[in-house]
Amino acid sequence: MNKISIITPDDWHLHLRDESFMTAIVGDSANQFGRAIIMPNLNPPVRDCAQALAYRERIKAALPKQSRFEPMMTLYLTDHTSIADIKTASKSKFIHGAKLYPAGATTNSDAGVTDIGKLYPVFEQMQKSGFMLQVHGEVTSPEVDIFDREKIFIERQLQRIRKDFPELGIVFEHITTREAVEFVRACDASLAATITPHHLLINRNALFQGGIRPHHYCLPVAKRERHRRALLEAACGGEKFFFAGTDSAPHSKSAKESACGCAGIYSAHSAVELYAEAFESSADFTHFETFMSCNGADFYGLPQNTGSITLERTEWTIPDSLPYPESDLIPFKAGQTLHWKLVANG
């Protein structure tokens, strides 16, 4: 097989940033995907309907004129999110959920939620309005080992939210562990998970390969090989409640290569090709379209895209760096060879 055509895929978890940081990279996602769920962790965060719609306008204005790329907006939940915020946002066809960042869990999460219990009236309203909850699933307690934070989040928080809000639609974002895969499988139809290309392609050794590798640092951090294999099996197996979400998160080279480097891997430049590389490693593309283009739309209750993209088997090299404000942007797998190239999107 030397060519694959699939329905235009979507990115169900994307960081686009703002202003010149956004204009530098938004074209990459538009080249690869039809739509994307846009994360709200700007500084200050996107907390209400008006802010989300204004951010959407800025994204649309930064896109090339002929682009049909559709940003699907989200709200950032804080301790002060109100029922009215949810009611208003859930009426907008451009806003597709609210993101739960446990305070301190990741980049720009300081304004996140300090006590999930206090958000119960908000969850109640979200459940009533059919408004999706996107979850960064990691506990932040300093005594919990960083490699266990997702597993403990499932045990201490997510199971409880599921039990108390059985009808609430939940996307467990960027899962990294076998425990998360098994949790999703054991849930019913109202919970699904996104999987990133980097968590399909690297394990935690990649962070320390011959020295510290800041461009492989993201949150949740990559885990052991047995976890990577569980993710690969879920993605490539065509299981309904797993779908693509890149968590592509640009930080300038200088912000990454620093004594306290930022968390985030930039994959948007070649996201579909990176997912293809993961499927290639399993030698089975049977469910590539299902994972990339169908499961996410089905779970969000949206129509699948009408266009298609084509990838060709050909070796090509990811650039060493890309232009970005302040300093360059180092893409995931910079300088490395991939075996599939996106040749058409329409």
What does the alpha-carbon distance between residue 247 and residue 137 come to, in Å, rounded to a whole number?
13
218 binds ligand DOR (CB under 6 A): yes
- What residues form DSSP beta bridges with 73? 38, 95
The 3-state DSSP class for residue 205 equals helix
> Least Å distance between CB 214 and ligand DOR?
11
Alpha helices for 172-317 (secondary structure H)? 178-186, 197-201, 225-236, 253-256, 271-282, 288-289, 295-300
Q: What residue type is 261 in one-letter code?
A: G
Q: Nearest approach, Cβ of 308 to Zn ion (angstroms)? A: 27
Phi, psi of 62 (to 5 degrees): -85, -10
- The pattern of x and - marking residues 237 through 276 that bind ligand DOR according to CB under 6 A reads ----------x-x-------------xx------------
- Residue from 8, 29, 78, 106 that binds ligand DOR (CB under 6 A)? 106
Q: Is 158 among the residues that bind ligand DOR (CB under 6 A)?
A: no
Can you say how many angstroms the Cα of residue 290 is from the centroid of all Cα atoms in its chain?
17
Residue of 8, 31, 32, 41 that binds ligand DOR (CB under 6 A): 41
Peptide bond just before 197 cis, omega within 30 deg: no
Kindly tell me which of 236 and 322 has the beta carbon lying closer to ligand DOR.
322
Closest-by-Cβ residue to Zn ion is 247
Q: Which does 106 bind (CB under 5 to 8 A by kind): Zn ion, ligand DOR, none?
A: ligand DOR
Q: Is 247 a catalytic residue?
A: yes
Residues in the interface with ligand DOR (CB under 6 A) total: 11
From 247, 284, 298, 328, active-site residue: 247
The Cα 178–Cα 190 span in angstroms is 20
Spatial separation of the C-alpha atoms in residues 207 and 174, rounded to whole Å: 18
Counted residue by residue, the chain has a size of 346
Per CB under 5 A, the list member of 48, 179, 247, 277 interacting with Zn ion is 247
Q: Which does 263 bind (CB under 5 to 8 A by kind): Zn ion, ligand DOR, none?
A: ligand DOR
The residues of the shown chain that bind ligand DOR, judged by CB under 6 A, are: 15, 41, 106-107, 136, 218-219, 247, 249, 263-264
Residues annotated as catalytic are 247
